[in-house]
Amino acid sequence: MSLSQEFADKLAAEYGTPLFVYDLDEVEAARDELLGALPEEFELFFAVKANSHVELLRALRGTPGHGCRTEISSTGELSVSIAAGHDPALTLYTGPGKTRGELDTAIAAGVRMFSVESLTDLEHIGAAAQRHGVVAQALLRINHVAASATTSIRMTGTPSQFGIDSETLGELMPRLRAVPGTELAGLHFFPLSNARDEESLIGEFQHTLSVAAELCAEHDLPLRFLDIGGGFSVPYAVPGPRASYPKLRAELAAALDVHFPDWREGSPRIACESGRYLVGASGTLITRVVNIKESRGRGFVIADAGINTFGGMSGLGRLLPVAVQPDTEATHRASLVGPLCTPGDVLGREIALPDLEIGDTVAIPNAGAYGPTASLLMFLGRPAPTEVVIRGTEVLSVSRIEHERTWSVGEGPRVRM
């Protein structure tokens, strides 16, 4: 999505800055494009960690047979998923550190499918299921010893808190099968994130399907459900379109025909998952210039949005790049930095920028994924950014995350931040 400067200025004047703007038309277009790129038998999970705004989850839900299920990793994400109308029975609960309280809450709410990261994780899930008198469906997340793609963010093939090491599966299977309160339903893979191109994405999926078939044959694994992960790409905070995948549907179908010839009849059911692709292009971050300075020959544009607003993940300098790029014509280079009293508060170092003055707004495109809830919201106690949801130029909702500190022992003031 690209907002006109006039519309961005109008929204900034009305709702203040920093301001995130999400366009539901763009969310639904991304959903439809990705569903169209996958075989029609596929199910699609939305990774709520990418953006947990209830309006976006509601738009992604779509209609029966043409929408997304939710993949969550906390009870907070579960509550938003339910508020958006998603059925907990269709939700996949993931993560390596599921606590007793979280599992009790999830199962009581109706969640039945869990991604399993270890034997003890499965035992915790089974104990919670027994406490509630139900059986939990378990997808064994596999950390395979090898992977196909050599580009992008690798999520498998190394020592990790995520997944069961594939080389240990044989010795673990008798114990995994015997965990009370659980039933092994299938496998879960997530080998990479943000694939660089369609060829590497297809190669990874082909490799995953081959590995899944091999593991099932070797260990007599039940396979009613197979989640092969994601890796779908969209630019992060720089101009550009979502990736397109014209070959993906045919290549996936061909690979599945080889390894799982009954997949078209639902044996097994096949799923992919995506976060940033579904919501990334829907968002624009509008920030206002509060100061401009030069230091030893280098220019700095200081904005009211920093890593507390956008860049909790990019600020790590590992998962996502620290290099935003406004969607405007550039005239010079300077660093775009935030207002925080830390040298790490950098949105873009020596990036191309237009001529700016104090009070001007800067619109950063493709900012719909890994925004407020992936940032250092509480750092320095600054207020969270406002979030506006639109369709076209119609404003549908305005909200802001609020933090509140309360005391359980003694008396203390109620502080909202």
What counts of helices (H) and strands (E) characterise the chain? 10, 21
For residue 32, is it within any domain?
no
For residue 18, is it within any domain?
no
Q: Examine the domain organization and report whether 238 and 299 are in the same domain.
A: no
Q: Which two tokens stand for residue 235?
A: 């630019």
The backbone region for 297, taken as left when phi is positive above 0, alpha when psi lies in -120 to 50, beta otherwise, is: left
Residue 358 CB coordination number (10 Å): 11
**Domain containing 52 — which CATH number?**
3.20.20.10
Q: Examine the domain organization and report whether 168 and 266 are in the same domain.
A: yes
Q: Examine the domain organization and report whether 137 and 256 are in the same domain.
A: yes
Task: Report the relative pairing of strands 136-143 and 164-165 from DSSP bridges.
Answer: parallel
**Domain containing 357 — which CATH number?**
2.40.37.10
pLDDT at 315: 43
Alpha helices in 232-353 (DSSP H): 248-259, 276-279
For residue 124, is it within any domain?
yes
Q: Examine the domain organization and report whether 179 and 321 are in the same domain.
A: no
Bridge partner residues of 416 (DSSP): 404
Kindly report the length of the chain. 417
Question: In this predicted model, what pLDDT tens digit does every residue of 273-317 receive, in sequence order?
Answer: 999 999 999 999 999 999 999 999 999 999 999 999 997 665 444
Q: Of the candidates 265, 159, 156, which has an alpha carbon nearest to the alpha carbon of residue 207?
A: 156
pLDDT at 410: 65
For residue 9, is it within any domain?
no
Q: Examine the domain organization and report whether 242 and 385 are in the same domain.
A: no
Q: Examine the domain organization and report whether 237 and 263 are in the same domain.
A: yes
Q: Whole domain around residue 231: which residue ranges?
A: 38-278
Q: Of the candidates 169, 188, 115, which has an alpha carbon nearest to the alpha carbon of residue 125?
A: 115
pLDDT at 318: 47
**Predicted confidence band of residue 42 (pLDDT cuts 50, 70, 90):** very high
Q: How many domains does the chain have?
A: 2
Q: Examine the domain organization and report whether 87 and 203 are in the same domain.
A: yes
Q: Which two tokens stand for residue 174?
A: 């008798």
Q: Examine the domain organization and report whether 53 and 192 are in the same domain.
A: yes
For residue 72, is it within any domain?
yes
Residue 67 CA to residue 55 CA, distance in Å, equals: 14
Q: Examine the domain organization and report whether 253 and 311 are in the same domain.
A: no
Give the contacts of 283 (CB within 8 A, at least 6 positions apart): 1, 20, 21, 22, 23, 51, 366, 367, 368, 369, 371
Q: Is residue 326 scored above 60 in pLDDT?
A: yes
Q: Is 153 exposed, middle or buried (0-12, 13-18, 19+ CB in 10 A)?
A: middle
Query: Which residues are known to be catalytic?
Result: 341
Q: Examine the domain organization and report whether 220 and 312 are in the same domain.
A: no
Question: In this predicted model, what pLDDT tens digit does every residue of 168-225 receive, in sequence order?
Answer: 999 999 999 999 999 999 999 988 888 889 999 999 999 999 999 999 999 999 899 9
**Predicted confidence band of residue 135 (pLDDT cuts 50, 70, 90):** very high
